[in-house]
A and B are shown apart, each in its own frame.
Chain A
Amino acid sequence: MSRDARINTVLLLLVAALAALPLVLGLGDHKEEPFTGADAEAETAITEIDPDYEPWFSPLYEPPSGEVESALFALQAAIGAGVLAYYFGLRRGRRQGEDRAREQAGPGAGAGPGDGDGAVPERTV
Chain B
Amino acid sequence: MDAVLQQARTRGANRVHRIVLRIGALAGVEPEALRFAFEVVTRDTLAAGSTLQLEAVPARAFCPVCAAEFDAGMDYVFSCPTCGQLSCDLRQGRELELAQIEMS
Please determine whether chains A and B interact with each other in the same assembly: no
Which residues of A approach B to under 8 Å, CB–CB?
A: none
